Amino acid sequence: MGNISYEFPVEKDDFERAGEASSKIKKILRQLGMDSGIIRRVAIGAYEAEMNLVIHSLGGTIRIDIDPKSIIITAEDKGPGIHDINLAMKEGYSTATEKIREMGFGAGMGLPNMKRCSDIFEIQSIVGKGTKIVMKMNLKDGD
């Protein structure tokens, strides 16, 4: 299998289309015949990253890079950035508004879940500039 990449734009506050990028990613992996366990981990990580772009960012992109050994999901946005990454990574920490919580988001579990689903999880953020998250999932032989 050669290397495969796709990139999906994600708009701020676009709840109408929220979840589309991660659904498409899931579909791509199903069509490639990937193992259901890895598809689940990638789908959760991509979905949480996508929702954070919709809810917390000014918009950005979700990218998937597939090679024979790994799947990499990269979420990159145009701001506002995260002041305290350690705090943001804590289970239960959320700055979501009441309105967002009424929609069922804001448990403060997205970033911890992304980390849990990944073999390698990296987050970089510059306040006023944006946030970049990279999740690498290793493929075993046969995935």
What does 36-103 look like in DSSP terms, one character per residue? Answer: HHHHHHHHHHHHHHHHHHHHHSS-EEEEEEE-SSEEEEEEEE-S---S-HHHHTSTT-----HHHHHT
Q: Does 125 bind Mg ion (CB under 5 A)?
A: no
**Binding of Mg ion at residue 52 (CB under 5 A)?**
yes
CB of 143 to ligand ATP, least distance (A): 26
Quick check: 56 binds ligand ATP (CB under 6 A)?
yes
Distance of CA 131 to the CA centre of its chain: 11
| Cis, bond preceding 112 (omega within 30 deg of 0) | no
| Out of 52, 64, 117, 118, the residue judged to bind ligand ATP by CB under 6 A | 52
> Which CB sits closer to ligand ATP, 52 or 118?
52
- Smaller CB distance to ligand ATP: residue 77 or 143? 77
Using rule CB under 6 A, residue 135 touches ligand ATP: no
Number of residues in the chain: 143
Q: Applying CB under 6 A, does 29 fall inside the site for ligand ATP?
A: no
